[in-house]
Structure 1
Amino acid sequence: MPTIYDNIERKLLEGLKESFRLAYRSDVCVGYLNLRGWGPLAELVNGFEGGDGKQCRVLVGMSKSRREELTELYAANGHHEPDQSDVARWRKRLAQDLREQLTYGTPSESDERALKRFAEQIRAGKVVVKLHLAYLLHAKLYLAFREDRFNPVIGFVGSSNLTFSGLQGNGELNVDVLESDAAQKLAKWFEDRWNADWCIDISKDLLAIIDESWAGLDRTPYEVFLKIVYHLSNEARIGLATYEVPPLFRDKLLKFQADAVRMAARMLDKRGGVLIGDVVGLGKTWTAAALIKLIEQTEFRGSMVICPPNLEDMWKWFKKEFEMKLEIVSLGAVRDAEYLEQFPRPKLLVLDESHNLRNPEGKRYKAVREFIHRVECKVVLLSATPYNKSFYDLSAQLGLFIDPEEDIGLRPNQYIADLGGQHEFEAKHQTRPQTLRAFEHSTFTDDWRDLMKHYTVRRTRSFIRKHSPIDPADGKPYLEFQDGSRFKFPERLPKAFKYGFNAKDPNDQYAKLYSSAVVDIIRQLHLARYGLRRYIDGAAESQASQKELRIIDDLSRAGKRMVGFARTSLFKRLESSGWSFLLSLQRHILRNHLFVYALENDLDLPIGIQDGEGIDEILGDEDMEKLAEMSVDEHGKRYTENAALLYKALDIPKNRKRFKWLRAGLFSDQLKKHLLDDAGQLHHIWTMGKDWDPAKDKQLNALHRFCTKENPDKKVLVFTQFADTAMYLHEQLDVRKVSRLDVVTGNRNDPTHAAHRFSPRSNKQPEIAGTSHETRVLITTDVLSEGQNLQDGHIIINYDLPWALIRLIQRAGRVDRIGQTSDKVYCYSFLPEEGIETIINLRGRLRQRITENAEVVGTDEVFFDGDPVNLHDLYAEKSGMYDEEGDDEVDLGSWAYQIWNEATASDAELRKRIENMPDVVYSTRHLPVQETKAPPGVAVFVKTAQDNDLLTWVNGSGEVVTQSQFRILKALQCGPEEPTAERVTGHHELVKTAVRHIHENESSTGGGQLGKKNGARYQTYNRLKVLFEKDRSTLFENRALKETAEEIYRFPLRERAKDLLNRRLREGITDAELAELVLALHEDGHLVNKPEDGTTELAQQPHIICSIGLKAGR
C-alpha cells in the first residue's frame, strides 16, 4: 500500500530525505519553481558527483496567466504548437518572474544560503534545470535513483510544488510509488518530457539571476548608495524626461532653473501643489513664469498670480513679455473668495511670497484657500523663507491646497516615536497620523523635512556652486546661459564700518539711551496692552456675552507671546536709532493714555491696536512732532488731551470697524495702574534723550561719510529694520545734500519703481540708466527683500543689526543675484568702535528676561528666528559668515538627482549597472565620522504600499534609531573608494525587523488608499464607480469595471499606468475612453502593482529596495 504524505501526519520532505539518503541522482518535475524553496533539497543533492547520470534534473512547467488560458480555451483553432518566438517570449517572461520572485518579502540567512548553494550546485553540474514549453504542465513528481537492489527507483506523485509550503507547510496530497514497474514508468514519463523538442535548458539563466540578486555578487556601499539616490531622484528624473520648457523660455533659463520647471511640473501633477523655495537671487520668478506658460500650452487654460502689491509691476512685465494668459491680483485687494471669482477660473494659481499667507485665521488666507478649493486649481507657492515663526508656517501654506485631515501617506515619525508610539499619539491628539494636522503637532525638524521633500523644489546658492562646472582659468564655478555667456557668483565679503561710541561718555546722546539703566526699565515694563488677558476680571467675565468671550479667548491665545514681541521691539528700535526709539516711546505713552481714557470714562477699549496698526494713519507725523515739542511739566495733560482726541477719531464708523472692542467693565483696576506706571517709566527714558541732535548722531555721521567721502560715485543700498529709521536717515542725508537719494518703506505705493531707479540695468529700464533719475543711494526697510532685482549695486549696509543671521544673508541676496557683474559683494555692518561687549551683554539680559517669563512660545522670529548673529564675527569681518545654508536646506529630490547625475553622467556602464541592479541588494560600511557615537545596525530603504520612499535605521537590537531621511542619507553617503566592511551580524533579521516597524505603522493607519483628489488613482476610481453604477443593464461590462475599480482601490497603480492616466486625464479623456483604457491595462497586467498570488497582505507590505549595514570602528 502506498504511503500518503499530506504534510499533516507525514511531511513530504521527511519522505524525500529518507529516499534520497541512498540516491546518486534524482529527477524532479514541478509546475512552479520557487528559487528560495531550493533549501530543503539542497542538502539532499549535495552529495551527487555531478554530470550526466549523477545529478538532479529539475523540469519546470511554464505557467500561464489567466488571460492566456482563457484565450487558448476559446480560440477557434484550439491549442497550437509553440515556435521560436514563443520560446523566446516565455523564456524572457520566466526570467523576469524569477527575478521579481527574489524581491518579494524579506531576505533571510537561510534563503541566502539556499540560493548560494543552488548556484554552486548548478556550476558544479549537480543540478540541471529545464523549462517545458510544449504544453501547460502542472505535474508534481519526485524520483530518487538509488543504490538499492530492492527499490532502485522511488517516486512521489501528488500536489506538492518545490516550495517550503509544498514540501512541509501546506496541506497537500502525495503518495510514494515503490512498486518497481510503476516507478520505471514514471521515470520514462519524465525522460520523454526531458528530451522533448520544446524543453529548453535554463540552468545558465538561473545562475545569472541568482548572481545578479541580493544573494549573489557582493555590492559595494557606493553602489547601494547610488541605488538609493537613483530611486529617490525618480520623481525628478521623470519630470526632466516628461516635461519640456516652453520655447519662449528656453534661451532665458539657466539649466538649474529649467530643471526646476520640469521637477515642479511633476510635483504639480502628482501632488497638486509645489513650493518653489530657491534662496534669494536664484530666479524663482522665472521658474514660476515658465511653469505658467507650460500649463497654458498643455492645459489650454490661463493662470492667476496673487502677489504683494510691490510685485504687481514685475508680473505685468512677464505677462506682456511672454504673452501669458494671466490674471495678476494684489494680495492687498483680496478680501473674500467672491472677489477672486470675478476673474476667469485658473488652472494654476501662483502665490508669490506665499509666507505672507501663514495665518489660517486671517481673512485673506481664508479667501485664498476657499477659492483654491472652489476652482480645484493647482498651486505654486513661491517663497525663499517659507519657514519663519514656527513649523506651523509650513503647515499653513500647504494647507492652502491640502485638506488638513486628508490622508497624505506621510507621518511625523520622530514625534510619534517620541510620544511612545501611535496609540499614544492618537490618544493625545485625536487625529490620524498620516495627515497634515498630525504634522502640526510635531516640533521635530526631521519630520518637517521628510514632509516637505514631497512638495518642495529648493536649491541654495552653495548647492548650485558646488554642482556647477569649474572654469579652469580661475578655478571658480560658473553658470552658462544659452548664448554662451557665463555668470559666476560673486564673493560675499563681510565688512565692519566702525563709528565712535563710548558707553561711559556722559556727553554721548546715544550712550545715555543705550545703557543698562534703560534696558533694565524695558525689562521691568508691564506692557499691559499686550497681555490684556491678565487683567480680565473673573466676575465680569462670567457675565460676558458670547461675542466678548470669543475676543477674550483670542487674547488668551496671543498671551505672553505678544508681551515678548513688544519688549524686543522696543529694544530693537533702541539699537536701530535713538530718534526712532524716542518716537516709539511717544507712541507707547500715547496708546497707554488712550486705554486709560477709555477706562476712566467707562468706554469700550479698542482691541488690536497693540502694535499701532491703523492708528498711525489717524495720528499723523505732525501730531507726534507737537508731542515732541511739549515741556516735561505738561506731559500728562497733553497726552491725556491727545488720547481723548485720538479715541474720538477711532470711534467713528469707518475707523471703528478696524478693531474689536471690549467693555471697560470687563477689566480689573490693576490695568489702569500698570498702564500709567509704564507711561511714567517710558517718559522718564524719553527725558534722557528728548534733546536729540542729528548733527551729533555719530552713526548717522558715519553713514554720511561712507556715502560721500569714501564712496562718492558707487551705488549704496542701506538696510534698516524700521520705517522710522529709514525716513530719519533719508531726511538727514537729504539735508546734507547727498545726491540721487531715495527711500522705500512699507508705506510707499511704488517700491518697484524705486528698485528700477536704483537698478535700471538688471530691471531692463534703459531709459533710466545713466540719467539723473537713476538712484545712487537707496535707503530701505526689508520691504525690498522680497522679489526685487537690485544687482546694479554691489555694496549693502546693515545700518542696524538683525538678531538672526538669516536676515543678513537675505539682504546680501538682494544684490548677490544672477546678473551681478562685480566679482565681490561688500556687506557692511555699522558697529561701534568700542562697546561690542555692551551690545552683547544688553541683548543677553533682555533675552534672559523674555525666556524667564516664557514670553516667547516655540521659535518666534521676533527673537529666535534662526542662528543668532555673532557680533564678534562681524567685528572681525569673518570670511564666509554671509554664506547661506548647506545641503540640508536643499530639497531631497534635487539633492539625490544631482548626486546621481554627477556619478553617472560620464560613466554609462555604472549608470546601466545601477539601473539594472535588482531590489533587496545590500552592503556594509563603517559608520561615518559624524555618526561615530550612533549605534551600529542596518539602514533599510523601502517603498511603502502608499508609494512613498522611506529609510529606517535600526540598531543591533532592532530598535529604531531614526527615520530622518536626511540624517540616514548623510550617514550612507560615500564615494567609490569606500571599502566594504564585514557584514553586520544578523543583517537580514534586522532588515526584517525594520520592515515590520514600517509595516505596522503603515497598516495601522487605515483608509486613504486613493491618495489626493486630483491624483490619477482617485480620479480614475471615482469616474469608473460612477460609470458602472450608471447603467446596470450591461451586466458583464459592469462586473468587469467593478472588479477593475476594486483593484485600483486595493493596490497602488503601476508607475507607467499612473503616468499614462495622468496624461490622458489632463487631455480630457471621456468616461467611455477611460473605461476602455483601464480595462486594457488591467487585462494586460499593467494597471496595478499586485503580486502573482494577489494576496492583499503581501501587496500592502513595504517593498525592500536595498539596505546598508553600519558597523562601528574602521
Structure 2
Amino acid sequence: MNNTLIDNSSAQLSMLQALRDCLASEGILTVRIATGYWDIPGLALLADDIRSFLRKEGTKLLLLIGKDPYVYASQVRNPKYRDMDYPGDFIRTDLCELEPKTEFENAVRLLLEYCTEDDGSKIQIRIFRKNKDNAAQFLHSKCYIFDGRDAGKGYGLIGSSNFTGKGLQGNAELNYLETDVVRVLSEAPIPNHKTHVQWFDEKWNMSEPWNKEFLEQVLKRAPITRKVMEEPFTPYELYIKLLRIKFGEVVDKSLGQQIQSYLPTGIHRLEYQIEAVKRCIGIMHEHGGFMLADVVGLGKTIIGILIIKRFLSVPEDDGRERKVLVITPPAIQSGWKKTIMMFDKDAEEKIAPYIDFVTTGRIGNLAEGTDLEDDDSGDTGEFGETLQDKNYGLIVIDESHKFRNSATLMYQSLDGLIQKIGADTGTYPYIGLLSATPQNNRPNDLKNQIYLFERNHNDSTLKKAEGGNIEKFFADVNREYDLLIRKPEADATTGDLIYDIPSDERRRRLDEVSRKLRDCILSDILERRTRTDVETYYEEDIKAQGLVFPKIVGPNNLEYIMDEELATLFSDTMTIIAPTEKEKLQTDEWLRYFRYRAIEYFADPANEKKHTGRGNRSVGDVAKQLATIMQILLVKRLESSFTAFTQSLLNLRRYTENMIRMWENDTIFVCPQIDVNKELDFETKNKEQEKKNKRKKGKVQKKKLTFNDCVEDIRKKITRLTEQGRNERGQNAEYRRKDFKEEYFAQLKEDHRLISNLYDRWARNSQDPKFDAFKEKIKPELFNPQTNTSGKLVIFSEAIDTVRSLARAVKAKGYKTLVITAANRDEMEHTIEENFDANYEGKWKDDYDVIITTEVLAEGVNLHRANVILNYDTPWNSTRLMQRIGRVNRIGSKEPFVYVYNFMPSAEGDAQIQLVRKAHTKLQSFHLLFGGDSKIFSEEEDIMHYNLAKAVDGEESPLQKYVYELKQYKNTHPERYARIEQAEDGWQIAQADCGTAYFVVKAPRSARLAVRIRQAEDGRHNAEIISLLDLLEEMRTEEDARRVPLPENWQQLASEAIRTYNQYFVRISRPRTGDKRTQALEVIVKLYNSSPVSAKSKALLKNARKLADKGSADIIRKMLVIGKELREKDSRLFAIGQQDIDEILEREIGRLVANVESRQGEATIVLGTIK
C-alpha cells in the first residue's frame, strides 16, 4: 500500500476497502481506532474482516469513543435522544431501532464473542470525556492505526470518517493513508512532533474503560442481542456440546476453585494439576477408578493427595466410608507422608488420621554391594506390612504396575480386600492407579490393574470394549499381542520358520493393538499430561508461576575404549552369564545359577511343597526368580564396573563353593530367613576375631572357627526360629544328599567350573577403561561451566562398590561429594534437600557439589538444583531412565537446560568395535527382556540411539487439544456456553442434506456410544460404532459452518443409529462358561429350587444368577463360598433350615446384588449431525 487520499469516490479509494486491506495485512497484531461516534452498521461492514483478524494469536482491537460535536448536535435535535447520556443511551437507542438484518446480527455476534469484561478481552472499549486538565472535552478526531511493528509494518488513517455505516461508505469523506512505519508507530520522543501511536496512547490513558457498562447496560439489553443469544444452535456449537459432554467437569471453574483451596502455601497452584484432579474425579465416579499417568516430574503425588482431600472433604451418600489406603513402594512412602503433612499443617480438617499406608515388599539382597531398587525382579509379590481389614472408601496405588501380576499374594490380598469391602458395604472402594508409563505395560498387565475396579469383567463400564465384556476383549488382544512378540522359530517337523511375520506387518499390527487399547480402554479411564501438553496448553499459567521446564540435551555419549583382549573377554562374558536363546543352542558354556536352584531338585515332593510360592507359584518359579536376580546382578555389575564385576564373580564362586562344601559334608542348609553364605564365611569371621584378640592383650582369646562351628550356629538359628514360631512351613531346614536328585551336584560343579574360569580371566585383567575415562571427563566435560551452569552434578550407578570408587575419584578432583545408598538414604534426607532440592523452603546449602547414588534416589526425591546427570551404567529400562532424569527435570527447575551423559563402550579396531557393539546391544536387549518394557526393537539402532528429549517431554496427549478448545470457547463466549450447557434438546443439527451422519446414543444404564452412518448412492446405509477420538475428529467443523434443515430421511437415520447401538450390546456373546461359573450357577439353581428358601432369598438368587451370567467374579466367588459353607453345615448339602440359608445369602450376597442394576433401559439420541 502507498500513501494516498481516501475519499469514498471509488471502490478502490473507499474507506471501507482501505480498512479491509489493512486488517488483512500479515503481521498486524494491534488495531487502534479513535472515533467521535460508533454504530453497529459501521461494525457490520467490517465484522467478517475483524473476526478473521481477531482469530489470530496475539491480536486485539482498541476502540476509543469520543463525543463528536456535529453528530451529537444532529442527534439531540431528534426528540428520541433528548435528555439522554452520550454515548451509552444514544448507542442503546440505535441498537433498539436496528432492523433485524443478518449483517447486524453478525456484528452483535462478533461483540459477544470478543468483547468481555476481563482484562484479556480482545476488543477493549474506552470513553474519552476529559482532557489531561480534567476538563470536559469533545473528541472530534478520527484515527485508525494498524500496528505490525514486529513485521516492519504500520499504517495510519486520519481524516473525517467516524466508525459508522455512513462514515465508512455513505458520506463524502476525506482521509489520508500513511504507510511510513516511523511516522505511524514510533514511540521515541521527537521535538514538536507526534506519531499516530503517541497521540492515540495519550488519549487512551486519559479515557475510562467501558467494556462492562457497554455489555451490561447497552448491548445485552437490545432486542437484536437477545435474538442473537437465543438463535438456534450452530453445527460448531453442536461440536462444543459434544466436548462439554466429555470434558465439562474439567472446565468447571467452581470445582476448580474448591480444589485449589485445598493447596497449602508453598505449593504452586498449577492449572494443569487442578484439571487433572477434576478429570480423575469424573472418571472415578463413572468407572469406579482411574489411571493417572502424567509423566515424571509433573507432580502425581500432589494430584493424588488432592483427590484424597476431595474425597474426604465432600462426603457422598454412596456407602463408601471415609477411609483411605495408600500403597507405595518403600522408597517413596516418606515423600507421600511429608506432602500430606504439608497439606495438614495449617488446615482445620486434617486428612492424615483417615489415611493408612502399606508398602510393596522386596526380597533382601542375595549378594553383597547392591541396592535392588531399580527393577521388579526383587519384588516379593507380598505387602511389606500387614494389609489391614478395613472398609476403605478409596485406595490409591502409586507405581501401580507392581499389581500387573494377578498371581502374586499381594495382588490376591488386595483383590480379596476389595471384594470383602464390596460385600460388607454394598459398594466397592474407588481405586486410583498412578503410573508414569501405562503405554509400556503389556495388555495383560493393564488388564489386571483395571480389574481392581472393574469388578464385572463381562459387563464392565467400558462399553467400547466388546460392549463391556473386557474379559473377551483382553483375551483377543493378548492373543494377538503374544503372537506378534513371539520370535520366529523352526518347526520341529519341517524345519520351516513359523511365526515369521514381516517386520512392517508386525509393526502395523502392534500399532493396531495399541490403538484398540487406547480407543476402547484408556481413552475412558486414563488421565495423562506430558510436558508437551503443559507447554502447549498451559503456557500462560506456567509463565505466571515463574516456572521453567528445562530442555533435555542428549544423551551425550562418553566413549571408553577396550583393547582387543578386553573386547573379546567382554563379549565372551555376556555369552556365559546371559546367553540368548540362539546361543544356548550353539554352546553349553553358560551359567545356570544352580547355587540358587536347590529347591527344584528335592527328591521328595513334600519338601518341594514347603517352598511353593504364594499364589500357586511352583518351586521352579521361585527358583527361577532367585536365579534371575543373580543373573541380573552380574549383568548390571558388568555394565557398571569391571572391578565390581570381578568382585561379584569372586562372591558367586564362594557362594557356589559353600553349596559344594555342604554337599560333600552331607549337611545342606536351605534357609530363606538365614544368610547361609554369611554364616559359612568362617575365614572372614576368623580375621575379625584376630583383630579382637589383638585388642584383648593377654586376656582369654577365642579359638579359630571351623566349618563345623558354623554349621552348629546355623542349626541353633533354625531351632530359635522354630521355637519362636517364625519358621514358616519349616522352610528353614537341614537336609542330606539323599534328599536331592543326584544330577544336582554335577550341575552345581559345572557352574563352579564356568565361574572359576571366567573369574581367572577377569582377575588377570588390570584395566578399567571406563573408570579411567570417567576421571578424565569430570572437570572438562561434566563440570564444563558452559553447560553445568548450576555447579552441581548427579551420578547414578547400580553397584555400591562402583559408587564408592566414583566418590573417591571425584573427591580427588577437589569436589565435595555426597554418597547415598539404601543404608543412609533416610538419615541423609534433610542434607539432600538442603543441597540439591530447588523446592526446599529452608536455607539452601552448598556443602556438596556432587551426589553419587544407587537407584535408591531414582524416585521420590528432588535433585533439581543440579542440571547435569551422568548414568555411569545403563538404566534398567526406559521407565527408570525417565525417573532418573526426572530427579533434575522437575517443576521448579531453575536452569534452562538439563544435560544427560551416558557411557558407551568402543574398541581399537573395526572388528573389535563390532564385537563390543554387538555385546553391548545384547546387554541392552537383556535389560529390555527383564526391565518390563514391551517395546519391540528389531534393529541395533533402535536400542543404541533414541530421541531422549522427545521421550522425556512426551508426545502431545490426543485428547488435550479438545479440552483446550472447550476452555477457549467458554472463556470467549460465556453466555452462549451457559446456554449450551443447560440445553438438553435441540441437538440434532444438519450441516448438509446428504452425506455421513454421526450420532451419540445413550441408554439410562449403559455407556454413550458414537455411531457413524455412511450413505451410499444406492440408498444403502453402513452403520458402525466408532471411537471417541474418531468422533471428535470427524464431527469437528468450522465456527462459521451454517445449519440447514434436517434431511427427509433423518428419522430413518436416527432409528438406524439406535438399532446399531442396541445390536452392539445384543451381539456381545455370552461369557465363556468356566468351571467356577458353572459350579456357582449349580449352587444358585439348587438353592433356588430347595423348598425352605424364602421369597426374599429367591429374589437375591435371581439377581445373583444374572450377575453370574454376566461374569461377576465376586458373585461367583461368593456363591462358591456359600456352597462350601452349606456343605460343611450339612453333609446332605441343602437339607438344612430356611433360617440358615436366608442368613448366609443375606450376609454374603445381599449388599452386592442390591447395588447392581440389571437393565440397560431405552436408548435415545443425545446429539446428531450430517455433514
Q: TM-score range by the shorter chain?
A: 0.5 to 0.7
Query: Does residue 902 of structure 1 match 2:968?
Result: yes
Indicate conservation of the 8 Å contact 2:682/2:710, yes or no: no
Deviation per CA, 1:448-503, whole angstroms, max 9, x where unpaired? 66334444432111111111246xxxxxxx615xxx54223221111424233135
User: Who is 1:331 aligned against?
Assistant: 358
Structure 2 portions without partners, runs of 5+: 1-227, 316-320, 345-349, 362-381, 481-511, 689-704, 1072-1094, 1108-1156
Match of 2:530 in 1: 460
Q: Summarize deviations over 1:978-1033 as a string: whole Å, max 9, x none.
A: 9999x99999989877765543342466999xxxxxxxxxxxxxxxxxxxxxxx9x
1:554 corresponds to 2:629: no
Q: Does 1:770 align with 2:845?
A: yes
User: Is the 1:604–1:661 contact (alpha carbons within 8 Å) kept by the matching residues of 2?
Assistant: no
Amino acid at match of 2:886: G
Preserved CA contact (<8 Å) 2:594 2:748: no
Q: Determine the structure 1 residue equivalent to 2:246.
A: 232
The residue number in structure 1 matching 2:793 is 716
RMSD, aligned α-carbons: 5.9
Do the aligned residues in 1 keep the contact of 2:244 with 2:966 (CA within 8 Å)?
yes
- Is the contact made by 2:444 and 2:478 (CA closer than 8 Å) also made in structure 1? no
Q: Does the CA-based 8 Å contact 1:261-1:290 persist in structure 2?
A: yes
1:942 aligned residue: 1001
Q: Secondary structure at the match of 1:738?
A: coil
Output one character per residue of 1:148-204: Cα deviation in whole Å (capped at 9) or x when no partner: xxxxxxxxxxxxxxxxxxxxxxxxxxxxxxxxxxxxxxxxxxxxxxxxxxxxxxxxx
Q: Provide the identity percentage.
A: 20
Partner residue in 1 for 2:653: 589
Unaligned ranges ≥5, structure 1? 1-207, 429-441, 471-477, 628-637, 851-855, 927-935, 1009-1031, 1033-1041, 1050-1089, 1091-1095, 1110-1114
Question: Which of 238, 253, 256 matches 2:272?
Answer: 256
State how far apart, in whole Å, the 1-side matches of 2:798 and 2:965 are.
39
Partner of 1:496: 556
Query: Which of 896, 902, 907 in structure 2 is aligned with 1:829?
Result: 902
Deviation at 1:789, TM superposition (A): 1.7
- SS where residue 788 of structure 1 aligns? coil
Match of 2:294 in 1: 278
**Residues 303-314 of structure 1 aligned to structure 2 (within 5 Å):** 303=324, 305-314=326-335
Q: Deviations over 1:1077-1112 (max 9, x none)?
A: xxxxxxxxxxxxx9xxxxx99934474644677xxx
Q: In the alignment, which residue of structure 2 is the partner of 1:514?
A: 570
- Amino acid of the residue matched to residue 556 of structure 2? A
Give the secondary structure class of the aligned counterpart of 1:786.
coil
Q: How does 1:873-884 map to 2 (within 5 A)?
A: 880-884=949-953
- Normalised to the residue count of structure 1, the TM-score between the two structures is 0.55
Q: 1:959 to 1:755 in 2, by over 3 A?
A: farther
Q: Which residue number in structure 2 is paired with residue 297 of structure 1?
A: 313
Paired residues of 2:836 and 2:864 also in contact (CA < 8 A): yes
Determine the structure 1 residue equivalent to 2:833: 756
Letter in 1 for 2:1001: V
Pairing 1:409–2:461 present: yes
- Cα distance change on mapping 1:984 and 1:242 into 2, 3 Å: same
1:210-244 residue CA offsets vs partner (Å, 9 max, x unmatched): x979xxx9x4xx66654443322145456964872
Contact 2:243 2:966 in 1 (8 A): yes
- Cα offset for 1:820? 0.9
Tell me whether 958-967 or 353-362 shows the greater mean CA deviation. Answer: 958-967
| 2:520 is equivalent to residue 450 of structure 1 | yes
SS at match of 2:972: coil
Instruction: Tell me whether 1:288 sits opposite 2:304 in the alignment.
Output: yes
Equivalence for 1:318: 339
* Aligned partners of 2:290 and 2:433 also within 8 Å: yes
Say whether the 8 Å CA contact 1:742–1:754 is kept in structure 2.
no
| DSSP 3-state at the match of 2:819 | strand
State the partner residue of 1:382.
Answer: 434
What amino acid does structure 2 have at the position aligned with 1:326? Answer: A
Report the secondary structure of 1:900's partner residue: helix
User: CA separation of 1:682/1:291 partners in 2, compared to 1, >3 Å: closer, same or farther?
Assistant: same
Find the aligned partners of 1:605 and 1:465 in 2 and give their Cα distance: 59
Q: SS at 2:259's partner residue?
A: coil
Question: What is the CA–CA distance in structure 1 between the aligned matches of 2:417 and 2:643, rounded to whole Å?
Answer: 45
The CA deviation string for residues 302-355 of structure 1, in whole angstroms up to 9 with x for no partner, is 75544444445444443443323304655349887995659x976544444444
Query: Residue 290 of structure 2: SS of its match in structure 1?
Result: strand
- What displacement does 1:410 show? 2.1
Q: Secondary structure at the match of 1:905?
A: helix
Contact 2:1013 2:1053 in 1 (8 A): yes
Q: Residue 277 of structure 1 contacts residue 457 of structure 1 at CA under 8 Å; is this kept in 2? A: yes
**1:681–1:593 CA distance, 2 compared to 1 (3 A):** same
Alignment deviations for residues 684-727 of structure 1 (CA, whole Å, 9 cap, x no partner) = 22222225658763244245446886469711111234445334
Give 1:621 deviation, angstroms. Answer: 14
**AA in 1 matched with 2:899:** Y
Instruction: Give SS of 1:233's match.
Output: helix
- Deviation by residue 1:830-867 (Cα, 9 ceiling, x = unmatched): 2346687555422455688x8xxxxx9xx855264447
Q: Distance in 2 between matches of 1:319 and 1:419?
A: 37
Could you tell me whether the CA contact under 8 Å between 1:574 and 1:581 is conserved in 2?
yes
Asked if structure 2 preserves the Cα contact closer than 8 Å seen for 1:310 and 1:752, the reply is no
How has the CA–CA distance of structure 1 residues 403 and 223 changed in structure 2, closer, same or farther, with 3 Å as cutoff?
A: same
Contact 1:224 1:1108 in 2 (8 A): no
What amino acid is the match of 1:409? T
Alpha-carbon deviation of 1:763?
2.5
Cα distance in structure 2, aligned partners of 1:868 and 1:1001 = 37
Measured in 1, the distance between the counterparts of 2:515 and 2:711 equals: 49
Structure 2 counterparts to residues 390-405 of structure 1, below 5 A:
390-401=442-453, 403=455
- Name the counterpart of 2:542: 479
Distance verdict in 2 for CA 1:542–1:578, change over 3 Å: closer
Is 2:557–2:903's contact at 8 Å kept on the other side of the alignment? yes
Q: Give the conservation status (yes or no) of the 8 Å contact 2:280–2:292.
A: yes
- 1:137 equivalent in structure 2: none
Per the TM alignment, residue 947 of structure 1 is displaced from its structure 2 partner at its CA by: 3.7
Q: Could you say if the C-alpha distance between residues 942 and 789 of structure 1 is closer, same or farther in structure 2, counting changes exceeding 3 Å?
A: farther
Aligned residues: 746
**Distance between the aligned counterparts of 2:291 and 2:429, measured in 1?**
15
C-alpha distance in structure 2 between counterparts of 1:958 and 1:614, whole Å: 72
Which deviations, in whole Å up to 9, do the C-alpha atoms of 1:734-780 show, x marking residues without a partner? 566531322234774446435314424412232xx2353xx321122
Kindly indicate whether the alpha-carbon contact (under 8 Å) linking 2:817 and 2:852 is maintained by their aligned counterparts in 1. no
Return 665-674 or 776-785, whichever deviates more: 665-674
Contact 2:552–2:898 at 8 Å: present in 1 too? yes
Matches within 5 A, 1:363-762: 364-365=410-411, 373-374=420-421, 378-385=430-437, 390-401=442-453, 403=455, 407-410=459-462, 413=465, 446-447=516-517, 450-469=520-539, 479-480=542-543, 484-504=544-564, 506=565, 511=567, 513-516=569-572, 518-519=574-575, 522-523=578-579, 524=584, 527-529=591-593, 553-555=617-619, 570-593=634-657, 596=660, 606=670, 654=721, 657=728, 668-690=741-763, 697-702=771-776, 704-705=778-779, 710=784, 714-734=791-811, 738-745=815-822, 748-750=825-827, 752-753=829-830, 755-762=832-839
Distance 2:708 2:314 in 1: 65
Instruction: Measure, in 1, the Cα distance between the counterparts of 2:951 and 2:878.
Output: 8
The farther-off stretch of 742-751 and 561-570 is: 561-570
CA distance in 2: counterparts of 1:427 and 1:771, whole angstroms: 55
Distance change >3 Å, CA 844–CA 824, structure 1 → 2: closer
> What TM-score do you get using the length of structure 2 for normalisation?
0.52
